[in-house]
Amino acid sequence: MQTQLAPEYQNTAHGQEAEAILRKCVHCGFCTATCPTYQTLGDELDGPRGRIYLIKQVLEGKEPTRATQVHLDRCLTCRNCESTCPSGVQYGHLLDIGRQVVDEKVPRPAGERLKRWALKEGIPSPLFAPAMKLGQAVRGLLPESIQAKVPPKTAHGAWPTREHARKVLLLAGCVQPSMLPNINYATARVLDAVGVQTVVAGNAGCCGAVKFHLNDQDGGRAQMRANIDAWWPMVSSGQVECIVVNASGCSAMVKDYAHALKDDAQYADKAGRISAMARDLSELLPAMLPELAGRLQGRVHFKGKLAYHPPCTLQHAQKLRGAWNATWPSWVFRCSPRAPNRTCAAAPPEPIRSCNPSCPGSCAHASSPRSMRPAATKNPR
């Protein structure tokens, strides 16, 4: 694709990166066929090729409108289009640039600004945990729509106390400790069972994805730097083998620290090392299976069928499409993998297991009558 950037973007880091990405696109449209928002809405501008054109036009000097902003907002950032693209177009990075450039020129309605601010400041805030605790205490009294967003309190069991020579850092995350604490505790117990000690750095927090993807990219980068600072003593001294992340949206973000901080002279090298050490938990499990299987045999009695949902952040952002689920012994459970290029757009009949805590909720939401799909078809001018 030929490009002629407007003077304001020439010789800027964003302009040069966007231009390099745009020039790889050959307009073939293969990506459109696998885009969930195009499949749902049927509008070229709600597919990757259309959004690429919109971003190109803005970078070439065309004034963006509210409609441009909404077409970019509707992108799920699932990056299915990247998996399909034969030319290696890094759509996700282009979209980040496009969203930032458009938001600088198109003011959002006040209600939307407030909602986005509440999400980006509220979710990673220290106040989220007490708010969740309160919500769980009065869950039965809440309207159904809010109840669906407040999971019942779950028992998390004990954190292992044994020390091991092999150690890993775990990103505890921002909402997971209060919403679904059993995930981090279970992760630590599984790793302990195979002789690996899990360490959580006290000052690490949100991976930065919430702010970054709500277009507060500077706020997201500040959280990335804070995590790097929290992890660095253990990383630089070689005390930990890797940084384990058990939510695929967060592992995708940590693996992208190297790119997000590439222009930061103070943090670029550290970010590169942190990204190289990040592992989604599903990358570690296959090697542990023989030992885990021996310990589980005779203790697990679940004989039902589960639907395994491989999240987009695992399949497309991290390119982890290995069938680790298929390697589980059949006496543990039988997995029914969902069609590999689908996002959480429809719920299967079986109980869902996923590598990202928000995905089962999205599947359930997609199958409910409250699904936002009808509202999303309105196009502003």
Q: Which residues bind ligand SF4 (CB under 6 A)?
A: 25-31, 35-37, 47-49, 51-52, 75-81, 84-85, 87, 89, 91
Q: Which amino acid is at 175?
A: V
Shortest approach of ligand SF4 to residue 106 CB, angstroms? 19
- Rounded distance between C-alpha atoms, residue 345 and residue 74, angstroms: 14
Sheet holding 278-280, edge to edge: 196-199, 166-170, 243-245, 278-280
Give the DSSP H or E segment for 196: strand 196-199
Residue 46 or 216 with smaller CB distance to ligand SF4: 46
DSSP assignment of 128-162, as one string? HHHHHHHHHHTGGGS-HHHHTTSPPP----PPP--
Integer-rounded Cα radius of gyration of the chain: 22
Structure tokens at 194: 């195979």
Q: Shortest gap between Cβ of 251 and ligand SF4 (angstroms)? A: 17
- Quote the least distance from Cβ 365 to ligand SF4, whole Å: 17
Phi, psi for 308 (deg, rounded to 5):
-95, 120
CA–CA–CA angle 337, 338, 339 (5° rounding)? 120
**Spatial contact of 172 and 180, defined as CB atoms under 8 Å apart:** no
Residue 346 CB, shortest distance to ligand SF4, in Å, is: 15
Which residue, 48 or 220, has its beta carbon nearer to ligand SF4? Answer: 48
Cβ proximity to ligand SF4: between 99 and 221 the closer is 99
User: Would you say 88 or 369 has its CB closer to ligand SF4?
Assistant: 88
CB of 3 to ligand SF4, least distance (A): 13
**Closer of 198 and 354 to ligand SF4 (Cβ):** 354
State how far the Cα of 16 lies from the Cα of 337, in Å rounded to an integer. 40
Nearer to ligand SF4, 205 or 311 (CB): 311
